[in-house]
Amino acid sequence: MVTYEELRVATGNFNQENLIGSGGFGFVYKGYLIEGIEVAVKVLDVQIRGSWKSFLAECEALRSVRHRNLVKLITSCSSLDFKNMEFLALVYEYLSNGSLEDWINGKRKNADGDALNVVERLNVAIDVACGLDYLHHDCEVPVVHCDLKPSNILLDTDMTAKIGDFGLAKLLMERTMSTQHSLSSTNFLKGSIGYIPPEYGFGQKPSTAGDAYSFGVMLLELFTGKSPTHERFTGDQNLIRWVQSSFPHNMTEVIDSQMLDLMHYLPNEDPRTIPELERNCLISILEVGLSCSCALPDARISLREALYKLETARQTLFGLGHVESVRH
């Protein structure tokens, strides 16, 4: 563990100039540990109900997991501050390219001013699917994230995507081959509006199928540029139904227009036309998003299947001259 004093020094006394994020949990500061390691320090608001539970959940979930697509938890701090008040903080690796939410919203762009192209978005989607597949299938005790959304996906210098914020994460015990039970007995709704699977609203425990739903919504958002809480989605209309209504023949009605523009290489080209290979790839991607976000948990595909389908879709693009954008 690191001390309060070390974190105070690392962040310049929690200087506002080093503030890089905030939310219901508290604040995130950029800092440097004594060894010169660049870090992100999440200081939890201990006045908020559940802050201790969130702190412990994150420590427990990340204690024994290691994967290139998970944000690395370096250390933590449970101490008293200079006012002798309780102080809780989590120290992560610092990721310089911000959150996926910033890229979708246009707050961040490539050096040439362009938004993310189709291959860059697909790389991100595959990275996230890799991280979730590891949590669900390759950990000794399966881990469910419970709060997957673009603001919790962070990007490093090389645009490798990493899943962060495990404050709602749950460890699962497999009682039978087909049924998973959460170690938690809490019944409050977990997740963020728009990304929460319907069954959680009826009191069902967190599950890998729940994460699949959130991933499906996030995937549709990544390729349409529309958040599930966008103002156009009122009444019975939502992001999933909106994509379904245009899939597959009228895809250009829902695909992010900035990404579409990057697919047209000829002047005066009809914006409604997409090169065939890219069109087939987009159909496969949206199909994965829709298959993950089915209303019924049993109807959803697993993250392992989603990952396989997305990697296959990326292979489709290798012949398009995008090789420089594709990570091997």
Domains of the chain, start order:
4-93 (3.30.200.20), 100-325 (1.10.510.10)
pLDDT in tens, the chain (328 residues): 899 999 999 999 999 999 998 877 889 999 999 888 999 999 999 988 888 988 988 888 888 889 999 999 999 999 998 889 999 999 999 999 999 999 999 999 999 999 999 999 999 999 999 999 999 999 988 999 999 999 999 999 999 999 998 888 888 754 333 444 444 433 445 678 999 999 999 999 999 999 999 999 999 999 999 999 999 999 889 999 999 999 999 999 999 999 998 886 545 556 556 778 888 999 999 999 999 999 999 999 999 999 999 999 998 887 554 444 445 4
Binding site for ATP: which residues?
Answer: 42
- Coil, strand or helix: which one is 86? strand
Could you tell me whether strands 161-163 and 143-144 are parallel, antiparallel, or unpaired per DSSP bridges? unpaired
Q: How far apart are CA 161 and CA 150, in angstroms?
A: 10
Question: Which residues line the annotated binding site?
Answer: 42
Q: Which residues are catalytic?
A: 147
Backbone dihedral angles phi then psi of residue 153, each to the nearest 5 degrees:
-105, 120
The secondary structure of residue 310, as a DSSP letter, is: H
Determine the Cα–Cα distance for residues 45 and 84; give it in Å rounded to an integer: 15
Q: How far apart are CA 11 and CA 319, in angstroms?
A: 47
Q: Are strands 38-44 and 26-32 parallel, antiparallel or unpaired?
A: antiparallel
pTM for this predicted structure:
0.89
- Whether residue 89 contacts residue 41, with contact meaning beta carbons closer than 8 Å, is answered with yes
Q: Which residues pair with 93 in a beta bridge?
A: 39
